[in-house]
Structure 1
Amino acid sequence: MALEVERKFLDVDLDELRNRLREQGARCLGAHFEGNTVFDTPEGDLFSSGRLLRLRSQEWPDKSRCVLTLKLPAAAPTGAEHCKVRDEREVGVADAAAMRRILEGLGYSPTARYEKVREPWHLNGVEVELDILSFMQGAELEGPAEAINAVQKSLGLDKVTISTKNYHQLHQDWLHRNNLPPRRSFVFDETQRRAWRRQLGLPDEDCPIIP
């Protein structure tokens, strides 16, 4: 069990933020393409109880990784105001297709898919995630609450819009603002996906780990 404490920042200039990270000696952990499939019961038992069951793939030019994650509601620690706090449990998965069959055998089925390009940096005990999705760009700070507050200030993010919503909720807000019907999945279109994969040095094809 690990307590995940994170704070999202919207409407971020990623190029400017990247420059500030470099200036402060942050270490880039490698941009990658990410595919996610969310599982739930037909009745939506996990979603209705604030739980998330997710199978995630990550692709770099020289490696790939798949992780099964369960997130549960958790109480916020002191100093974690304006942060999203979850009890996060993860395990690496060697065979994503086999894990999917196991989940389906237990009564879970895919309910949403989403993709993003993620560029993680490490600065003073905080992981700074630069995220590009089909409908927005943003950043996350994840780590101990006090360290998040300090890094937020050092990177000049104090005046940027903060959100405790997850990307699914932010996507629903975006659909509403654009008078589009609700939908749970948000993936790149074919042109976007190919462009981002080429930029990352990945094969010119859809994410192969999670169908």
Structure 2
Amino acid sequence: MQYVEVEKKFALPNPEALKAKLDALGAKPSEPTRQIDQYYNAPHRDFLAPQAISEWLRIRTESRGASINYKRWHPIKALVKTHADEYESGVADVEAVRRLLEALDFRPLITVDKTREAWTLPDIEIVFDHVAGAGHFVEFEFKGDATGVEDASTRLQQFIASLDMELGEPINRGYPHILLGRQH
């Protein structure tokens, strides 16, 4: 199980051009899925308090089931993050988990409603997201074997450069940041 995530995200003005390029490379798309992500704030520390938000707790529901996820981005105090520790597990009873969190004084912060389509190549997953209220985005995530975060980041950057495409503005924040109006 991989517990470190290395990804790059961009606003995407023209998803179809990138999809055509990926298709030419032999990537295959998954069926699009709608994901509803409910983000929570912790009672023991305010995830929104620091200028550079470095952690989130999320419950995701979608047609294939539900999951709970915690991410802690690094470097913790940096405005631009390089990677995240990520812990995720399936949830059999999502309503029980919601009630459990609320009983422990975790409070809902924001809901992200998105449609996601994943494309896969060896070592790289490319995810197209349409986020209600925010627009179109693409995330590139390194999924291969690497000697560390720096190696994975370099290889991910090389892949993105090899596409030779205008992707739009790099996004160094998550969808909850965007919907909450947070810059970092």
Q: Distance in 1 between matches of 2:177 and 2:109?
A: 15
Deviates more, 1:134-143 or 1:45-54: 45-54
Deviates more, 1:135-144 or 1:148-157: 148-157
Q: Alignment partner for residue 99 of structure 1, among 97, 100, 109?
A: 97
Deviates more, 1:159-168 or 1:134-143: 159-168
Secondary structure in 2 matching 1:16: helix
Partner of 2:116: 118
> In structure 2, what residue type is equivalent to 1:88?
E
Extract unaligned runs of 5+ from structure 2: 143-151
Partner of 2:61: 57
Q: Distance in 2 between matches of 1:159 and 1:30?
A: 22
Q: Distance in 1 between matches of 2:13 and 2:161?
A: 14
Task: Name the % identity.
Answer: 25
Q: Distance in 2 between matches of 1:73 and 1:155?
A: 27
TM-score normalised by length of structure 1: 0.69
CA contact (8 A) 1:124 1:151 kept: no
* Aligned: 1:160 with 2:172: no
CA contact (8 A) 1:27 1:121 kept: yes
Q: Distance in 2 between matches of 1:146 and 1:168?
A: 27
Write the deviation string for residues 84-106 of structure 1: whole angstroms up to 9, x where unpaired: 42111111101100111111122
Structure with bigger strand share is 2
Deviates more, 1:139-148 or 1:114-123: 139-148
Q: Distance in 2 between matches of 1:109 and 1:83?
A: 25
> In structure 2, what residue type is equivalent to 1:108?
F
Partner of 1:184: none
CA contact (8 A) 1:52 1:70 kept: yes
Extract unaligned runs of 5+ from structure 1: 77-81, 177-211
Aligned length: 166
> In structure 2, what residue type is equivalent to 1:141?
F
Partner of 1:150: 158
* Aligned: 1:22 with 2:23: yes
Q: Distance in 2 between matches of 1:99 and 1:45?
A: 20
Give the superposed CA RMSD. Answer: 2.5
Would the alpha carbon gap of residues 159 and 18 (structure 1) be closer, same or farther in structure 2, given more than 3 Å must change?
closer
- How far has the Cα of 1:167 moved from its partner? 1.8
Matches within 5 A, 1:1-211: 2-41=3-42, 45-48=46-49, 50-59=54-63, 64-75=64-75, 84-134=82-132, 135-143=134-142, 144-157=152-165, 160-172=168-180
Would the alpha carbon gap of residues 65 and 155 (structure 1) be closer, same or farther in structure 2, given more than 3 Å must change?
farther
Would the alpha carbon gap of residues 39 and 83 (structure 1) be closer, same or farther in structure 2, given more than 3 Å must change?
closer
CA contact (8 A) 2:74 2:82 kept: no
Q: Distance in 2 between matches of 1:95 and 1:172?
A: 28
